[in-house]
Amino acid sequence: MTVIDFSAFIGRLATASGETILPFFRTSLSIDDKSKTREFDPVTEADRAAEAVMRRLIKASFPQHGIVGEEFGNEREDADYVWVLDPIDGTKSFIGGFPIWGTLIALLHKGTPVYGMMHQPFIGERFSGDNGSANYKGPSGERRLQVRRCASLSEATTYTTSPLLMNERDRAIFGRIEQGARLSRYGGDCYSYCMLAAGHVDLVVETELKPYDIAALIPIVTGAGGVVTTWEGKPAQGGGRIVAAGDARVHEEALKLLNG
């Protein structure tokens, strides 16, 4: 089977998760804190219910596949095909009633992300990619995604979810990026990477990401012509400190600053 065989099924996962999540959005839902430290790490009934729905569908259709999920852990993660699920990336925006969140669905083949989708059911947007191409489907129709050219960091718009999520050392290093960029903005979670793929953002810099935070976004960004690595320039699917750029020149410049 090729990744093309899975595209319709991934659409089913997105639809099922969206139908599960939407009744909870902008309601008085209960919120738990998963954090064992002072950093607030919320999880809701919607997160758990959506991941449970996707897991049931995967197990029923592809019982030999592995699953890595934010809420219910890992199963058969050594399988050739592994699904990586984040039911709501951007839970803090979700509980605040802002629609800057999405469901992330990735398919890995032998450890490499080969297909990814970000689904935002409230707005009705889907961003998908297979490393070779990337596509958008939403209220404005359907189109191919393409990053924009940007010659240098001094011309770039850069995003991070929040520098407060970084440790003190990484926050200071990130300050070099902010000083060099034309515009630096906060927020976005998964949407920042999708806006980069769509040609509206030039650079995204993050730290402390888990595999389920980034795996689905890699095929989208690379499919649109962008670059995603760790700060050290290594493959990014394992998470950690991540830098994504629409133009290789900006990516190279950012790596020099982050490692300087």
- State the residue for tokens 């951007």: 90
First to last CA, the chain: 44
21 labelled as ligand-binding?
A: no
| HSE-CB for 223 with a 13 A CA cutoff | 25
Length, in residues, of the chain:
260
51 labelled as ligand-binding?
A: no
75 labelled as ligand-binding?
A: no
78 labelled as ligand-binding?
A: no
Q: Which amino acid is at 4?
A: I
39 labelled as ligand-binding?
A: no
Residue positions forming the annotated binding site for Mg(2+) = 70, 86, 88-89, 213
Residue positions forming the annotated binding site = 70, 86, 88-89, 213
